[in-house]
Amino acid sequence: MDPSENKRPEIAVILIFLIIITAFIFRGALWSLATGNVHYFVPVEDKIYLSGNSSDLTDYWAKITKEAGFEESSAAIESFSLHKNPDGTIESLFMFFYALKNGKDYRYSVSYNAGEASGQNRITIYSREGKPPMPKFTTRQSYSPADFLRETEKINLTDLGCQNNTVSIRADSNHGGGSYVSGNYRIFLQENDTLIPLERISLNNDCLTPFPIMISLMHCSEFSKGTSCSSFENLVIFPEKCTAGAEISYLT
């Protein structure tokens, strides 16, 4: 018997082992190829703050734009959520938006979690080819993530009386139509860094996507299995540039 024939099973086992190891090492790239998802990372050197006078959100947006390489001028925000601790640090952040890259439409997701299990303090960006839903992003002027984050940073949490509270902030392009009346929640028009109380606002759906910023003040309790939070006051803030054509009644 040829001695080389005895070695063939061993060689096959070694090859299989090498394939498994290679697949494990490059599992992220293989998953991206299989699903069409591509991910990027932006390191976070320190804590991210939302304090009414910080520019952390827009600073990191610039880094996200550079890392992911999409056309910033084409970006249109879809949804956003943020959880702020009483000390002003951001506990978690999620954002979805659409943008063009190399002439193709992509849907991007951005996530940040200060308590990430891996211990890596970073912003994660996933992208996948996908066109914006029709006709939402074509019949209205889209709202850029940069503008939205800039308006969010301007919110004076001290004026709202919630600078020392746990706060949940969210916004969604599916909301914003119709009318809002002060009652179950306080509503405001934001002009630069000034919040103006409103009695009522009726939006013009043919104008820029309204994208109201929903703020909930949270009461949180610690339990053995984690933290439970519930809202005890809700506010709605309309950036001035998102209220073109709206009928507004000011609170007197």
Residue given tokens 């119709």 in the structure block: 178
Instruction: Take residue 106 and report the two structure tokens written for it.
Output: 């992509």
Instruction: Take residue 16 and report the two structure tokens written for it.
Output: 């299989």
Which of 83, 91, 131 lies closest to 114 in space, CA to CA?
91
* CA 209/CA 106 separation, integer angstroms: 20
When comparing pLDDT for 13 and 217, which is higher? 217
Domain ranges of the chain: 36-250
The mean pLDDT value for 179-198 works out to 87
Rg (CA), the chain: 23
Query: Quick one: pLDDT band at residue 223, thresholds 50, 70, 90?
Result: confident
Strands 179-181 and 226-239: unpaired
18 C-beta neighbours (distance < 10 Å), count:
10
Q: How many residues does the chain have?
A: 252
* CA 64/CA 32 separation, integer angstroms: 19
Query: Quick one: pLDDT band at residue 71, thresholds 50, 70, 90?
Result: very high
Triad 173, 246, 50: Cα angle to 5°: 50
Residue given tokens 């991210």 in the structure block: 48
Instruction: Take residue 14 and report the two structure tokens written for it.
Output: 């070694």
For residue range 4-52, what is the model confidence (pLDDT) as tens digits? Answer: 555 555 655 555 555 555 444 444 444 443 445 678 889 888 889 997 7
Residues 238 and 190 sit within 8 Å (Cβ to Cβ): yes
For residue range 109-130, what is the model confidence (pLDDT) as tens digits? Answer: 999 998 765 556 889 999 999 8
Q: Give the H or E element holding residue 79.
A: strand 71-84
Predicted model pTM: 0.78
* H runs (alpha helix) in the chain: 3-25, 27-35, 56-68, 136-139, 145-154
* CA 148/CA 159 separation, integer angstroms: 20
Instruction: Take residue 181 and report the two structure tokens written for it.
Output: 């009346």
Q: Beta partners for 77?
A: 97
Which of 185, 184, 179, 188 lies closest to 157 in space, CA to CA?
188
How many helices and strands, by DSSP H and E, does the chain display?
Answer: 5, 12
